[in-house]
Amino acid sequence: MKTLSLVTAVAVQASAPSLADNTADIDRLKAALELSLPAQLNRNINVPYSCMARVAAAFRNVDFKGYAVLNVLPWQLDVVDFLPDVPAFLPALALDLGTTHLEATLIDLLTGKSLAHDHAVNAQIEYGTDILSRIHFAQQGRDDNGLELLQKAIVGSINGLIEDLTSQCDCVPADVRAVSVSGNTTMVHLLLGLNPYHICREPYIPLVNDPDPFLCREIAISTHPEAMAWVLPSIGSYFGGDLISGILASGLDQAEETSMLIDVGTNAEVVLGNQEWLIACAGAAGPALEGGVARMGMRAASGAVEHVSIDRKRWEIDVQTIDNAPAVGICGSGLIDLVAELYLAQVVDLRGKFQGEFVGKSEAQKRFIRKHLVELEGEKAFILVPIEQSGSDDPVLLTQIDLDAMMRSKAAMYAILTTLTNQVGVEFTDLSKIYVAGAFGKHIDPRQAITLGMLPDLPLETYQGIGNSSLHGAERILLDEQSWLRARTIGGKITYIELNVNQDFMIRFSGSRFIPHTDPHLFPSVPVFT
């Protein structure tokens, strides 16, 4: 069966009114539509008051024959338009609502094709770079209107994206028929203008996890006036709809064999399970990997260092940037590569500290270290791309501070994974697949993450990158009502482990703050330098 988009157009042909058939226009449309509906659309037909006059006039103008445009709600169909011909396209916006960045696709609901793709900075950054500072700002802000300012900022960013995307394909925001949103719980609250106060306070309770669809215009998103907003449900304060998207995209919840999904954005969110059961947890593991936090960190955009390798024979460093543009920063995968390579090159020790040249065993290695390792404001820093080769007025470098943050993140990640598997008595070797999602997963080399002790030491084919699955999930629900319904039920199936209060996690976190681990036997493939 063809998947059913959340907005669809159905051909309708009604007989013209006569003295023998004096049904009213709207009732005539409903009756004819009911006869034309495919089985999967067999549900109550509603004509919202706001559409009634317009739909009736359009229906009459084309002699009662044309295409009814329907918002496909779970328990009813809303007739929102009547068109003379099958429309050229029905654009809808799929949105990955990130704390620092938004990424969006304009999708044609008729064909499923992507019409345009773009990203934007989350304008809320003006009021706080991270989630906690925004939650704080929402409580007061300037003139006690913090929540309102935050909502306006994110809506402004979204409207800017809609403007950009629609202009790329010769249409206008009023042509956009639906918006799907996948984001973390706090971002969804701020978008909806809901106070996230309790999200960061024990026992960490969101105001809402699974909001019912609502009209975009209710929060001033510029679309067709009857476009609905569909928000992917969250499961908890630190477990957002972005991960539900990942579950949809990976099919974790439908597989017989047990597998794992790791999504790292600002938080690390992990799900473990199969078609029988799902267990999940989330924790702060991502900041070092996401743009805007680490000094040189940036998202995976043009000029971001995405891969680094150090030739340990010739002591040369090879840097790959996105679009081969001059380097301006390091994205998540580049950071992981860099630290892993620096460990293997013994520039960084197992504690995650720059060692200095004394570890050098050869003149070439010493020259390499002298060339790259500098003192910066009293701290060591590794110059990855010197100023003269960089794409900005600064060199691209890794400071000890950023390295420390990276070590905390990698430790947190491994601790999260072990805590979770331990909860259900599953071994890493039991996993058929580990799906890696998020900006983090886009270009990550699992080999390097294993070297760091960030991901378990498993055969590389176990790992499968699934890209920005938050965006993919948002795209998917627009095109497939079943995926939307599935998203709403997944939450109910997941056992969620709160790590912020989990002792087991804290112990595992401490044990993970070495490269690869305090217990190197867990990582047989990683060399240990003593």
Least distance in Å: CB of 229 to its own copies? 8
Is 94 near its own copies (CB under 8 A)? Answer: no
Give 34 or 118: the residue with its C-beta nearer to its own copies: 34
DSSP classification of residue 479: H
Is 23 near its own copies (CB under 8 A)? Answer: yes
Is 495 near its own copies (CB under 8 A)? Answer: no
Least distance in Å: CB of 177 to its own copies? 18
Taking residues 498 to 517 in sequence order and writing x for each that binds its own copies by CB under 8 A, - otherwise, the string is: x--x----------------
Place of tokens 């934007």: 120
Could you tell me the strand order of the sheet in which 65-72 lies? 7-13, 65-72, 76-83, 44-46
Is 212 near its own copies (CB under 8 A)? Answer: yes
Rg, the chain, Cα only: 26
Is 148 near its own copies (CB under 8 A)? Answer: no
Give the binding range for its own copies (CB under 8 A) out of 88-96, 207-215, 260-268, 417-425: 207-215
Q: How many whole angstroms separate alpha carbon 278 and alpha carbon 494?
A: 5
Least distance in Å: CB of 57 to its own copies? 8
Q: Which of 171, 208, 374, 506 binds its own copies (CB under 8 A)?
A: 208
Task: Estimate to the nearest angstrom the gap between the alpha carbon of 479 and the chain centroid.
Answer: 18
Least distance in Å: CB of 220 to its own copies? 12
Is 215 near its own copies (CB under 8 A)? Answer: yes
Is 211 near its own copies (CB under 8 A)? Answer: yes
Give the binding range for its own copies (CB under 8 A) out of 74-82, 346-354, 416-424, 431-439: 74-82
Cβ partners under 8 Å of residue 64, min gap 6 = 13, 14, 15, 16, 17, 28, 29, 32
User: Which one, of 317, 281, 312, lies nearest residue 397 by Cα?
Assistant: 317
Least distance in Å: CB of 28 to its own copies? 8
Give the binding range for its own copies (CB under 8 A) out of 202-210, 325-333, 411-419, 468-476: 202-210
Least distance in Å: CB of 188 to its own copies? 10
Give 190 or 466: the residue with its C-beta nearer to its own copies: 190
Could you tell me the strand order of the sheet in which 178-183 lies? 114-121, 101-108, 91-97, 178-183, 228-231, 214-215
Q: Which of 36, 40, 129, 195 binds its own copies (CB under 8 A)?
A: 195
428 with 456: CB under 8 angstroms? yes
| Helical pair 131-139 and 146-168, crossing angle rounded to 10 deg | 120
Least distance in Å: CB of 77 to its own copies? 10
Least distance in Å: CB of 204 to its own copies? 6
Give the binding range for its own copies (CB under 8 A) out of 104-112, 119-127, 230-238, 279-287: 230-238
Q: How many whole angstroms separate alpha carbon 251 and alpha carbon 476?
A: 12
Is 17 near its own copies (CB under 8 A)? Answer: yes
Burial, 8: exposed, middle or buried (Cβ in 10 Å; 0-12, 13-18, 19+)? Answer: buried
Site for its own copies in 30-69 (CB under 8 A): 43-44, 46-50, 52-53, 56
Least distance in Å: CB of 50 to its own copies? 7
The values of phi and psi at residue 308, to 5°, are -135, 135
Is 12 near its own copies (CB under 8 A)? Answer: no
Give 182 or 512: the residue with its C-beta nearer to its own copies: 182
Give the binding range for its own copies (CB under 8 A) out of 22-30, 268-276, 381-389, 473-481: 22-30
How many CA atoms, within 13 angstroms, populate the side-chain half-sphere of residue 312? Answer: 10
Question: How long, in residues, is the chain?
Answer: 530
Q: Which of 3, 11, 13, 27 binds its own copies (CB under 8 A)?
A: 27
Q: How many whole angstroms separate alpha carbon 190 and alpha carbon 149?
A: 9
Cβ partners under 8 Å of residue 490, min gap 6 = 233, 244, 247, 248, 253, 278
Least distance in Å: CB of 497 to its own copies? 10
Is 18 near its own copies (CB under 8 A)? Answer: yes
Helix, strand, coil share of the chain (percent; to 5): 40, 25, 35
Residues forming beta bridges with residue 138, ordered by sequence position: none
Give the binding range for its own copies (CB under 8 A) out of 89-97, 131-139, 192-200, 385-393: 192-200
Q: Is the peptide bond before 516 cis (omega within 30 degrees of 0)?
A: yes
- Judged by CB under 8 A, the number of residues near its own copies is 48
DSSP classification of residue 345: T
Is 365 near its own copies (CB under 8 A)? Answer: no
User: Which one, of 222, 296, 238, lies nearest residue 500 by Cα?
Assistant: 238
Q: How many whole angstroms separate alpha carbon 501 and alpha carbon 202?
A: 9
Give 215 or 293: the residue with its C-beta nearer to its own copies: 215
Is 356 near its own copies (CB under 8 A)? Answer: no
Q: Which of 209, 245, 250, 390 binds its own copies (CB under 8 A)?
A: 209
Q: How many whole angstroms separate alpha carbon 329 and alpha carbon 105?
A: 25
Report how far apart, in Å, the C-alpha atoms of 104 and of each of 119, 499, 525 are. Answer: 6, 31, 39
Give 52 or 132: the residue with its C-beta nearer to its own copies: 52
Give the binding range for its own copies (CB under 8 A) out of 115-123, 196-204, 243-251, 308-316: 196-204
Is 277 near its own copies (CB under 8 A)? Answer: no
Binding footprint of its own copies on the chain (CB under 8 A): 17-19, 22-27, 43-44, 46-50, 52-53, 56, 74-76, 192-195, 198, 202-212, 214-215, 218-219, 234, 236-237, 496, 498, 501
